[in-house]
Structure 1
C-alpha cells in the first residue's frame, strides 16, 4: 500500500468518527388535505334537513382530527341574513368529529346554514380546500298558543266566522256575496249568494245577528235580484255587477244564464222563504218576492228543444254555443231536483233518468 492509499484511508476513518456540527435540513412534509365526510342533525343523516328541533345537536365528521381553535373560527352557523349564531363546540373520535350546539334556541320555522369555510385546519396542519354549506330548516312551534276549545266551542267558532264572511263582505248595494273578499269588489256571484243566504238563516238562528237584521239584508238581496239583476228565461248569470245588476261575463260565451249557479241561489232563497214564514207583513212581502223569482225560472226551456237533459249555459249573443250538458254524478243534482219541483216550468222524469243519471251509468 503506497503513501497515497494510506492517507486516503486515514482521512475516511477520521471523517467517520467525527460528529457533524451542522444541523440537517428538515424534511419537507406535505400534510395532505382535510375533507368533509358527513353530518348529522339530531341523529338525522339524510338530507334535506327539515323539521329540525330548535336546539339541535350538529355533528360533523372529517377525514382526520381537526384543530380545535380553527374549528370554532371556520365552522359557523348563520341565518339567511348572514347573522352568526353563537354556539359551543365539543370534539369526539380523537377530534375527527366536531359536535356543535347553538348557545340558545333557534327560531321556529326558519332556515339556517352550517358553513365549513376553506382554510379549516386539521391537527396535522392539513386544511380544507373547498368550503361546504349544509342548509337546514327548523320545525314549527307546536306549543299551544290559545286556550283549548271544546269540540262544540270550536264548531261554534268556525260557524260564526264562516257566517261573518258572507255578512261582513256582502256587497253594500245588493247584499250579494262577493266572488272574493280582497279583489274585484263589484263582482258578486249568484251561486255563492245562495250559500250566503243560507248563512244568514243560520246566523239568525244562532243569535249571531237579530232576525230584524237578517230580514233587512234579505229584503235588500231579493229586491236587487227582482228589480236590477239581469235574468235570462228566469235564470241568473254566474257573475253580476253588485251595484248595477249587469252581467259580468265568466268567459267569452258565458255571458248569460247559468242554470247550476241559479240552482244554488234558488236553494238559498227557498230556505229563507220557509224560515221567514210568518204573518208579519214584511216577511209575507219577502216570501211573495221570493216566489216570483222561483216561479220565473224556465227549467224546462233549458232542455234545449225538449231533449231529455238540461243544459248549463245559455248566452244572449252565442245561444247554446257552450253546449254543456248537466250530467252526474256531481253537485248538479240539485238542478234536477229543483227543475222537477217547479210548479210553473217543471222537467219530466225522463230528463233526470236519461240526462243526469244517464240511464244508470
Structure 2
C-alpha cells in the first residue's frame, strides 16, 4: 500500500514506517512544518520517500497514492491545493488525532467533528489512547483507538549517573501542560538532566533555584533519537512531569530502555505505568522522596526498570500496532 502522510510527530512516525508499505512524505524548501520530509534525527527505512507538491500531484494522477493519513485539520486543504483531490472523496483518508483536547476537556469539539466527509463516516478519526477518545467530542464521526507501538531499543539501562532524567519539548512555552514547574520543583534538590527542543531556555530559570538546580542548567540537551537512547538510560530514573498530554512516547521509550519512572496520575499514565514499573503521584514531595530513595538504592531502581520494560513491550507491541494500522487502512481503501 502507498500511504501519504506528513511528517508531524517524529517518534510516532518512526514506529509507523516500520510496516511493509511505501510511505510518501511531503517536502518543501527549508523543510517547514508542512514539508519536513524524511526525518533527520530518527532512523527511517528506505520505504519512506520524499515528494514535492508537484511530484505528489503526478503521483496522485498516476494512481500511486492509495490512502491519505491526515494528522492536522489543514492537511485536507493542502491535499486539495497540491493535487486537486479531496480527502475522503477522491482519495480514501483517515484522520489520526495525536493529542488530548486542549480546551475544556469534556466539552471540546474536535475540529473534524462537523466536516461532512468525517460526519458521514468516510474519514474515520483514530485516537492514540482510549482516554483521548473519551474526552474529545467527535460528534457522529466514526472513531477508533489504535494504541502506540514501541520499537524495541533494547535493554540499555545502567543508571550509573545519580540523576533523574526528563524529556520535555519546549518546556518554557508549554510550562503548565508539560509540568515544567514540577520538574523545577524536583530539580531544586535532585540533580537532573533535561532533553528536548527548547530546553536551553530553562537555564535562566534553574540557576536561581540553588546549587543543585544550577548544576542541572549545565545538563540541558537536544539530541537525535539514537543519541538520546544511548544517553538517557545512564540516568538513575525517568521523570514524566506532564499534567496534560496524550501519552508521551518519550515515557514509553524510557520504559522500553529499562528505566524506572515517576509520573503524575493523569490522562493515560495509569495504564502505561503499573505499580511494579514506577510510581504515580500528584504530590511533588512524594515524587521527590521516591527519587531520593532510588538514588540511594540502585538495585530497587533497576528492579522497577526491568518491570517497566517488560510491561511496555507487552502492552504496546510494535507488531500489533502495525497490524492494526494495516487492517484499518486496507479496509478504507477496499471497503
When normalised by structure 1's length, the TM-score is 0.22
- Higher radius of gyration, 1 or 2: 1
Q: Which has the higher contact order (CA 8 A, sep 6+)?
A: 2
When normalised by structure 2's length, the TM-score is 0.23
